[in-house]
């Protein structure tokens, strides 16, 4: 179990840890929490997204991208919703 293992790491150290986790995952179950979707995409066979302490959705990276698309939505404190393609 890893709770945000790459938080605060520089990009090279972050990539090295990703490589280590990838190389050691065969035949194991690993639970990892992260705020980085690129990290979840790379490391996770299944991704669960939580908000407000509740499970919002769960599935493979492909499933989530197909279902929700490639939008990034930001909610500002002014309650103005801004959505942008990336």
Quick: pLDDT tens for 21-79: 999 988 999 999 998 888 998 999 999 988 888 888 899 988 888 887 765 555 555 55
Cα dihedral 44→64→51→3 (10° resolution):
10
Rg from Cα positions in the chain = 15
Q: Residue 18: how many CB atoms within 10 A of its CB?
A: 17
Model's pTM, two decimal places? 0.68
Query: If DSSP codes are grouped into helix, strand and coil, which group holds residue 1?
Result: coil
């Amino acid at each position: 179990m890893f709770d945000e293992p790459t938080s605060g790491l520089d990009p090279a150290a972050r990539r090295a840890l990703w490589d280590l986790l990838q190389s050691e995952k065969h035949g194991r179950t690993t639970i990892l929490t992260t705020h980085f979707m690129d990290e979840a995409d790379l490391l996770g066979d299944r991704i669960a997204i939580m908000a407000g302490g509740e499970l919002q959705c769960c599935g493979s990276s492909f499933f989530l991208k197909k279902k929700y698309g490639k939008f990034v939505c930001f909610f500002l404190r002014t309650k103005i919703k801004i959505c942008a393609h990336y």
